């Protein structure tokens, strides 16, 4: 008789049942109920019910678990204490710091460490996904302002394809050309190198170190002081300067840039002037104030120290900036307790106002 694979071949000598090598009941040997004694006359360890039962089950938590738990609590409270102390120190520091509104010069100093400094945070917040979604909306002649080290670079779909939009109208998808602009020559130089590694054969691209409020044909800058001469970054594979005469871009994109520029409303108004008036779009992914007061208090308390160190005012009200710019709001979406903002804008359809602004 086959008993069960898990006890196949087992035997319990001195017990009520014995099985042979393949699990058949051993019929030759009579079953004995008398326990066998060893040489000293005591019960063998296995047969002694008091010993074979093992130590009685102990109720509650084992000492090892208790020790582990205590160490974890200690580590956590030490870490929270450390966070709290550094928060207090930074709040104190922020209170007395005299930080100018324009902190954009910080980026030349932090350019080399910028990517490694923001990588982990962006991964935890899964920002790559948001960047990709935004960049995939870009089409035609594209201008990316405040491009930094080119963290959006890998999401561009190069090459123009003709198709139809959601209303069935003829449309272009993909990038016809790309123009990258950033105030910091060190940041944009990293972007240029990334681009050339990723897309060595794409020629319609320019990298310009310039204030984004001065991009475009000079007639848009009437009445303003003469702009600083843009630095066009030379490179073997790029065609440069070819965009400087074109009046409009089909898409203007900016990520995490409104926090770093001294005049965000002025920047958006300028971008409106160089966006194609009928079908052009301005795509933004920004960070700023939250939905929640408690978080806004933390952002406010630490804003000066953060701006001084990282060149970014993280407590700006992106919604208010966008409203003040007067551009047409197509969509606003928010994530991460409301601190991450995706904003899609169009040039204001009241062209008269816009034309007046140009001729001022
Ligand atoms: C926080 S970084 C963001 C970089 C990048 N867009 C990203 O998503 O990681 C802000 C960038 O804006 C640039 N910037 C600040 N003010 C600018 C201006 N007026 N014109 C052009 N770039 C500007 C800085 O040099 C810096 O590279």
| CATH number of the domain residue 352 falls in | 3.40.50.150
Mean pLDDT of 272-279: 92
In degrees and rounded to multiples of 5, residue 275 shows phi and psi of -100, 135
In a domain? residue 258: yes
For the chain, what is the domain count? 2
Confidence of residue 169 (pLDDT cuts 50, 70, 90): confident
Residue 87 forms part of a structural domain: no
Residue 2 shares a structural domain with residue 118: no
- Within a domain: 156: yes
Residues 139 and 224 in one domain: yes
| Residue 240 pLDDT level (bands cut at 50, 70, 90) | very low
Whole-number mean pLDDT of the chain?
81
Q: How far apart are CA 139 and CA 137, in angstroms?
A: 7
Strands 161-164 and 281-287: unpaired
Average pLDDT (286-315) is 96
CA–CA distance, 150 with 197 (Å, rounded to integer): 12
Distance from residue 358's CA to the centre of ligand 1 (Å):
25
Domain span including residue 253: 106-359
CA 211 to ligand 1: nearest atom: 20
H helices of 97-206, in order, are 106-124, 127-135, 185-198
Same domain, residue pair 124 and 227: yes
Q: Is 256's C-beta closer than 6 angstroms to any atom of ligand 1? A: yes
233 and 329 together in one domain? yes
Q: Is the CB of 182 under 6 A from ligand 1?
A: yes
Residue 202 has pLDDT above 70, yes or no: yes
> Considering only CA atoms, which residue is closest to atom 8 of ligand 1?
255
Mutate which of 260, 284, 316, 340 to test ligand 1's pocket (most atoms within 8 Å of Cβ)?
A: 260
pLDDT at 232: 65
Q: Residue 38: CB partners within 8 Å, gap ≥ 6?
A: 44
Q: How far apart are CA 168 and CA 116, in angstroms?
A: 44
Confirm whether 45 is domain-assigned.
Answer: no
Distance 313 CA to ligand 1 centre (A): 12
* 150 & 258 share domain: yes
Instruction: Using CB atoms within 10 Å of the CB of residue 321, give its burial: 0 to 12 exposed, 13 to 18 middle, 19+ buried.
Output: buried
CA of 354 to the centre of ligand 1 (A): 26
CA of 256 to the centre of ligand 1 (A): 7
In a shared domain, residues 19 and 149: no
Q: Which of 146, 150, 271, 283 to mutate to test the pocket of ligand 1 (most atoms within 8 A of CB)?
A: 146
Has residue 218 been placed in a domain?
Answer: yes
Q: Would 309 be classed as within a structural domain? A: yes
Residue 341 forms beta bridges with which residues? 286, 334
pLDDT at residue 291 tops 90:
yes
* Statement to judge: residues 209 and 121 lie in one domain: yes
Q: 199-203, 309-313, 341-345: which has the minimum mean pLDDT?
A: 199-203
Same domain (yes/no): 186, 307: yes
Q: Residue 191 C-alpha to ligand 1 middle, in angstroms?
A: 12
Nearest CA owner, ligand 1 atom 19 = 211
Q: Cα-flanking dihedrals φ and ψ of residue 188, to 5°? A: -70, -25
Give me ligand 1 centre to Cα 260, in Å: 6
Domain check: are 279 and 171 in the same one? yes
Same domain for 169 and 20, yes or no, is no
The pair of three-digit structure tokens given for residue 240, joined into one six-digit string: 């440069």
Span from the CA of 148 to the centroid of ligand 1 (angstroms): 5
- Decide if 203 is inside a domain: yes
The predicted pLDDT at position 280 comes to 94
CB of 189 within 6 A of ligand 1: the answer is: no
Q: Residue 90 domain-assigned?
A: no
User: For the chain, what's the residue count?
Assistant: 360
- Residues of the chain with pLDDT > 90, as a percent, come to 54
Pair 137, 28 in one domain:
no
Q: Residue whose CA is closest, atom 16 of ligand 1? A: 261
Residue 64 structure tokens: 């090892």
């Amino acid at each position: 008789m086959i008993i069960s694979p898990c006890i196949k071949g087992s035997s319990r000598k001195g017990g009520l049942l014995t099985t042979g090598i393949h699990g058949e009941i051993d019929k030759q040997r009579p079953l004995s109920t008398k326990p066998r004694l060893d040489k000293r006359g005591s019960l063998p360890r296995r047969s002694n019910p008091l010993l074979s039962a093992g130590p009685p089950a102990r109720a509650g938590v084992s000492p090892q678990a208790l020790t582990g738990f205590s160490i974890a609590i200690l580590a956590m409270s030490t870490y929270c204490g450390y966070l709290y102390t550094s928060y207090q120190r930074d709040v104190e520091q922020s209170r007395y710091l005299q930080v100018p509104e324009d902190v954009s010069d910080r980026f030349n100093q932090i350019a080399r460490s910028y990517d490694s400094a923001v990588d982990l945070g962006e991964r935890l917040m899964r920002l790559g996904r948001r960047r990709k979604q935004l960049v995939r909306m870009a089409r035609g002649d594209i201008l990316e302002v405040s491009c930094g080290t080119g963290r959006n670079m890998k999401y561009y779909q190069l090459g123009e394809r003709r198709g139809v939009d959601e209303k069935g109208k003829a449309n272009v998808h993909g990038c016809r050309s790309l123009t990258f602009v950033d105030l910091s020559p060190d940041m944009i130089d990293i972007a240029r190198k990334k681009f050339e590694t990723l897309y060595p054969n794409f020629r319609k691209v320019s990298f310009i170190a310039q204030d984004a409020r001065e991009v475009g044909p000079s007639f848009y800058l009437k009445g303003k002081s003469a702009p600083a001469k843009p630095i066009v970054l030379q490179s073997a594979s790029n065609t440069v300067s070819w965009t400087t005469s074109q009046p409009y871009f089909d898409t203007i994109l900016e990520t995490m840039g409104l926090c770093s520029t001294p005049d965000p409303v002025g920047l958006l108004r300028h971008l409106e002037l160089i966006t194609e008036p009928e079908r052009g779009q301005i795509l933004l992914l920004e960070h700023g104030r939250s939905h929640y007061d408690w978080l806004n208090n933390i952002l406010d308390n630490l804003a000066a120290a953060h701006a001084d160190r990282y060149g970014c005012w993280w407590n700006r009200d992106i919604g208010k900036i966008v409203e003040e710019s007067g551009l047409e709001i197509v969509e606003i979406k928010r994530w991460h307790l409301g601190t991450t903002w995706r904003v899609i804008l169009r040039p204001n359809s009241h062209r008269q106002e816009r034309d007046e602004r140009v001729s001022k």
